[in-house]
Amino acid sequence: MLTLQSELFFLYTYFDMSNLQQLVGEKFKAAKESKALFSFETTEVEKESNGINFQITLVPALAKKPQGDDNKEKTSPFINPNPDLLVKELDEHLLLLNKFAVIPNHMLVVTKEQKSQTEPPFPNDLYEVFKIIKEFGSSQPLLAFYNCGENSGASQAHKHVQIIPLKTNGSVQPPIKKAYDEIHDRHVGQIYAINKLPFVHVIMQLDTNVIRAASKKEDLTDYLSQMFFGLLDAMFQQLRENSDEFTTSYNFLMTEEFMMLVPRQKEKATFRYKGEEMDVSLNSLAFAGMILCKREEQLEALKENDIMDLLSQVGIKWNENQKLDAERQMASEAHLA
């Protein structure tokens, strides 16, 4: 039976963030003015591949970002962070602003204790992140992403989930959602693969009715964790059927509407441009349809190359005998307990 105390606790934790969007904006502006964070000039272009309009962003200033001394023991920047970057202290996490903000109001949900980025997002991680997504709401949709493992494109070893605001200019956001929307007659809780994506992945629609009906923190936490770990199990099943090499590196995407997982075999994709070989590091955002580059020649090269081929290089290509149609449900299925 739900006690008054537990009911009030859930209402407090779930709705205490009613002014979060305004708070993040104010903290971002103040941190930028005090130079606690750096916001950069960017150049954006679109590149179509398999019907998806990938967004390529050039940020030359990132090439000048200090890399640190690899010979020194690295300490986490999330332990005792700059208070100017702290948006909110949560139970087991801190909500921080990203110090190097290509996208304004780029947030990080980091564990207070130093945990490893090779761990999956645990139930409380999922709860805190989804709560932030819901609080911003339809007026400012958000994308959460998690780079898990050494080949995922993660830049910090301390466990952190990143959250970015999405554009609201009428274009499909994130770009990968266009392919997701083409899965006809989707059913919540079912796990799918999208035929036009040439790399192993799994994707699932979340049940808005279950989320809306969650009457306390435990309800929402249980639902999100069951969906995520069901999806993770399906990803490993697809790996067993499509690859001889097992990997524990993967990228995780989550919006208010869906979750997606993509296993990884390496961090960087290699391509040729004007007779020269170059590479680009790709993280979860690349599979959402957003690619970051630091040099003009990288941008020009990406415009000339097939983006799906680059994603297939760092992901796992489908075994043609196992490839699934977009409209066919996987044998694996996420069940509610």
Which of 277, 274, 308 lies closest to 291 in space, CA to CA? 308
Decide if 278 contacts 310 (C-beta within 8 A): no
Question: Of the listed 160, 184, 187, 335, which one is catalytic?
Answer: 160
Decide if 132 contacts 95 (C-beta within 8 A): yes
160 assigned to active site: yes
Compute CA distances 185 → 105, 174, 181, 264, 293, whole Å.
Answer: 35, 21, 10, 29, 37
Q: Which residue has the tokens 């050494």?
A: 150
Q: Which residue has the tokens 């700059």?
A: 82
Catalytic sites, residue numbers: 160
